[in-house]
Structure formats: C-alpha cells, structure tokens
Chains A and B, each alone.
Chain A
Amino acid sequence: MNLPVLKPTDFASDQDIRWCPGCGDYSILAQMKKVLPDLGVPREKTVFISGIGCSSRFPYYMNTYGMHSIHGRAPAFATGLKSTRPDLMVWVITGDGDALSIGGNHFIHVLRRNLDINIVLFNNRIYGLTKGQYSPTSTEGQVTKSTPMGSIDHPLSPLSVALAAEATFVARSMDANVKHLGMVLKRAAQHKGTSLVEVYQNCNVFNDGAMAYAQEKAQRPENTIELEHGKPLIFGKESDKGIRLVGTRLEVVNRSDVADDDLLIHDEREQNPSIQMMLARMRYPEMPEPMGVLRDVEGVPTYNDQINQQVTSAKERFGEGDLEKLFSAGDTWVVD
C-alpha cells in the first residue's frame, strides 16, 4: 500500500493558536507534528483527547480527530474510544493539574489497565488557565496566588505515580530539548500499552523558569541525566559524574573515584519497577533528574486487546448472539 507521505504541516488545523507567546506548549506541538508523519498512521485514524487547562487546547490545533473533554477525565474518554475502536491511535494530552489533581483517579486506573494509548502530561507546576494557583507538582514553599505564604502541600511526581500503578511505559522529556522530546514521543507511540510521557513545560507567564535548572542548556548537564537502556548512568558537563546503587539508595559519585563497572546500568525493560522508582525519585537539587525512558516493558496484555478478545471468544464459544434464542431460553409458555 502506498500511503501518501505527510508533512508536519499536514497535521496543522486551520485554527489560530491561542497560547501565550513564549509558552513551552508551542514546542511540544511542533514536535508532535514532526513525529506523527513518521508513524505512518493516517490523520483520520489519529485522535487527540484532552481535559481542561492550557495544554488541553492542543487537539484544536491538530488536523486529526479530537476531543477537548472535561477536566481530568480525558483517560476515561480514551478508554471508551480505544476499547471500541482499537484501530485508532489515541493520544491523551493533559497537564499536572488535570492529570494529578482532578483527574488523579482516572490517571492511575488507565495506567493499571494498560490501555494502548499515549499520554503526554505537560508539567508546568502551576495552574495557568485559571491564572496562577499552585498545582499538585508545585514545590513546597512555592508562593502563588493561592499560596501567598508558600505551599504546604508535598508535590506529587507523575513518574512515581505511574510506576506505582505499574505503567508499562514511563518517560520524561522537556519542551526545551526538542530532539530528545521528539525521540521520546516517538518511542511512546511505538510502545504497545499505556505510555506516559511527562514533559517539563515552561509557563512563562505564571511560573517562568520553575524548571530552568533542567531546561537551560548551560545548567542541564549538571542537573539532569539522560537515560539510555543498557548504559551506565553518567552525567555532568564533563561527563565526570555517575550514579551508583548502594544498598537501597542511589548516590552521586565522581567517575574518577569509582570504576564504570560499579555504576548503575539502566534497565528500562526490568519488570520490577523498584529501581526505576528510585530513578523517578531523584530530584533537583540533591540529584540530577532523569530524562528519557525510565521504563518500557513489553508483553503485558492491553485492556483494549482483552476486552475485544473476550467478545471474540464468546462468539467462538456460543456463536453470534441470537436474540430470539436468548428470549426463549428458560421457562416460557404459550397463550393461544
């Protein structure tokens, strides 16, 4: 079959984009449009579903099928759609408030069910659309419109939540590193099962620079670590530092002090998420924050496959349903 070759611009809808100038969302949108043509899925077979928030305007800008749904519930809409239309490629676009606060319940349940969809969580650690209240990922002590004396909530890490739900694909990237973001989005799309991608996204209006330590090119090498499957964990401007597993915790070491063989080798395919969870818990400023694919486990059945498999096997076992047979099964009587 000869599929027409699509260009990124073919995925752009005719709607004006309404994000603030300089918002990190633009970069994510651009990467998505770049990645989609490579996946070989026609536009009409691609669906974007979002919740509510700045990020959730995303579907309006894509020339695919789309639904801008209600706050926090996008995974639930996706569940109904993908269960009945497994032929579609379904993306969920969400944010830190949408996925982790109002939609926390749906977020964990879609992950544990391993529905074959891709979730992109734009994490800007703030409520942008409602103009600047703190979010579930805001840092402790953060001063916002709703926390004038500083936030007293402990922040939630989407990666930790996803790993606790035993999600089969868990990754992180950022708006500022476009090549890396493109790579991660592509891998998420290729994974069979729920893929969660957390994207550090700068909200330059209400939380500017909140993740500058990771996003700024100069600071990035010291404060983040790029994960690669089968490779030792090495970071630093001079690639002079590494991560070592000591007992039940991870520590930063100087490569000059420690043999490379003693560094932790990243294993994204390990079924047991314990070490991946340790990676997810590495936080600035104590530790470099992991970027890339933390977990990519294949072979776990997907919800959509199984719900449809049950229909197929019921039909094999009992034959295509016959209503008149159903109605007259059991005790009936005839009135003449």
Chain B
Amino acid sequence: MELVCEGIAHRYGALDVLAGIDLAVQPGECLALLGPSGCGKSTLLGIMGGLLAPSSGRVVLRGEAPASSLNPITYVFQDFALLPWRTVAGNVALALEHRGLSKTEMDARVADALARTSLTEFRDAFPKQLSGGMRQRVGIARALSVDPAVLLLDEPLSALDAQTRDLLMEDFLKLWLASRTTSVYVTHNLQEALRLADRICVLSRRPGRIKEIVALDLPQASRGSPDAARRMAEWAEHLWHLIRDEAAVAEREVANVR
C-alpha cells in the first residue's frame, strides 16, 4: 500500500514542530526518516498512523490491504509498549483478541509470529524476565501477527545497546526482506538508515521540514559487499554533511531546554 502525506504541519501549543511535509511512501519500500532528536519524527509518525490529528494537512492511504491484514497500519514502538502483566504470547495475542478470530487461527498467528522472531521458547515469560532486545522482538512479533500493510517503526532499536542493536537490525532486515511490507523507519542513527532503507528522508531541526530525500539504489542484501563499500561511503559522507550541523544545533537546543 502507499501512504501519502499532504501538507502536514503540526504544532503543540506555541511550539511549531512540523512544517509543510509532503511525502509519499511507495508500496513495498522502506523509507527511513532521519533527523536530530526533537525535530518531530515521532510526531510525524503518530500523524501517519492516525494516533495524532495534524494541525493541518492530511494523510491518505492508497490501495487495497491484503485480506489477511487485520490492522493495516501497525506500529513498533521505541519503548516496546508491552503489557507487563501479560506473557510474551499474551502480548502478541492482545493485537488479535478483538478481531473475532477462531481460537485455532489466533493460536496459529501467535505461534507463527513467535516462530519468526525466535521467541517460541519464551512464550510464557513475562516482559520483565526478558532483555531489551528480546522485548523488542515481542514488539515486532506483535506487529507481524496482524499482517500489516504499512509498518511504522519509531526508533525501534534506540533503547538497545550497540551490540544488541546490530544483531536485531540484521534479524529485522531478514524479516522485512521476506515480506517487503511498506515501512517507515524512524531513526536518528545514520548506520541504521543506511543499512535498512530504500530511501532516506532527512528532516531539518525543529520545525521539521524535508531537507532532502536520498534514494539508495542498491539492494539491501548487497550493501555489505566490498564492491558496494565506496558508494556506501559516499552516501554516508553526503548524509553526514546534511545532518551534522542540524544535529549539533539541535543538541545544543536540547541541552538548553534541560
């Protein structure tokens, strides 16, 4: 499916957060939203998924969702958003229980989602018994269980330590390549964007506008190869120039606020 933002602007009271965002997320692509902290990435993602009403502009969903999709637009959250009183399987089931599925179908969907995220043996564990990486797997499993047509991921790896982040990033990439679900991947981390995205949309600091959209026309699977190293380095260099000054200023702003 295709997700189109038309003239999205948003303000929290007197605080201008987003200004004039026009953006079309193509069917089957992974679009990374890259920008410094506080530039309005989460706000934009909330607007895209209908959790937040924009001050102006609108979001349009084009095309038909596949029949198996129970929840066309589905989120993966930075802080996992797991219910601590439910087990791993229970947290996944939460997304399905109100859909009127037969018990067998529900069990099958839970089991499938857990299997795809290697969580089968932890199905009865409570979130607090799991590491951060495992918790985000549950978040991903829950999102997969509803067969989303559009996946909105808000810094899904930012709460994790570097090593876990790399491991989970590769796992996520494998899952994504298998389904190629239309995805918006919010991050402030350049490496993640370079590894996962088909296109990278760079946002300016607050109020966030689109600064540039960089298309990475190289399949994700081959980005690690030695031949790709030069092009990857060029993109990295270019993107770094785009975000460096913004990041420095934004960082200072944040420091002042605190």
Answer yes or no: do A and B interact.
Answer: no
Q: Using a CB–CB distance below 8 Å, which chain B residues touch chain A?
A: none
Q: Using a CB–CB distance below 8 Å, which chain A residues touch chain B?
A: none
